[in-house]
Amino acid sequence: MQVKKAYVADLKALHAECGSNYLRLTRILGKVEAGDSFAFPLSGSQGDFGTLLLEVVECAPYTTMVTVAQTGVLDHIIDSPRMSVHLYHDVRMAEVTDFQRQRHFEGRNRYPNPRMHQPDEKLQLNRFLGEWLTHVQAFGQADVPELP
C-alpha cells in the first residue's frame, strides 16, 4: 500500500505570483481613486474575447481593493468570471480574496472537501489573475506596457 503524501503549499510560488500580479495591476491601473473603473475590450487575430472590467472599490494608504470581471459572448449561458483583489502596497503584493462570491481560500485544502477546492486552490486563483492581466497586456485595447 502506497502512502499518499500531504500537499505542501508552495509559498515561494504564491508570493512570486502575488508580487507579479501587483506589478501588472499597478502598470495597468496607474494612480487610482475609489470609484474609478476601466474597461479593456479584448480581441486578437481569432476575434473578440469580450471585455475585462476593473473597478476600484476602495483605496486606503496601504491597501486598494479592485474587482476584476470579464464579460463576453457566453454571459447568457454561464456566470462571468469575477474576483476581488486586494493590493497590499507596503509589501507590493496583489492577492485574490474572493472568486465567484466565495471567500477565505486556504493556502492548503484537504482533498476531497465539500466545495471540491483543489489542494492548491489559492495559488491557482492567483495564477488565473496573472493570466488574465497578461492577456489584457497582450490583447487589450489600451496603452498597457508589457512586463519584461
Convert the pLDDT of each residue in 24-35 to its tens digit: 999 999 889 999
Distance in angstroms (rounded) separating the CA atoms of residues 21 and 85? 10
Residue 13: enclosing H or E segment and its boundaries? helix 11-29
145 domain-assigned: no
6 domain-assigned: no
77 domain-assigned: yes
25 domain-assigned: no
Residues 6 or more apart in contact with residue 37 via CB below 8 angstroms: 53, 54, 55, 56
Distance in angstroms (rounded) separating the CA atoms of residues 51 and 48? 9
Mean pLDDT of the chain: 79
pLDDT over threshold 80, residue 65 = yes
Distance in angstroms (rounded) separating the CA atoms of residues 93 and 38? 20
Q: What 3-state DSSP class applies to 69?
A: strand
- Give residue 11's pLDDT: 78
Give residue 63's domain range. 38-139
147: pLDDT confidence band, cut at 50, 70 and 90?
Answer: very low
Convert the pLDDT of each residue in 69-125 to its tens digit: 988 766 666 677 889 999 999 999 999 998 865 555 555 555 555 554 555 678 888
53 domain-assigned: yes
84 domain-assigned: yes
130 domain-assigned: yes
3 domain-assigned: no
Q: Quick one: cell of 29?
A: 491601473
Total structural domains in the chain? 1
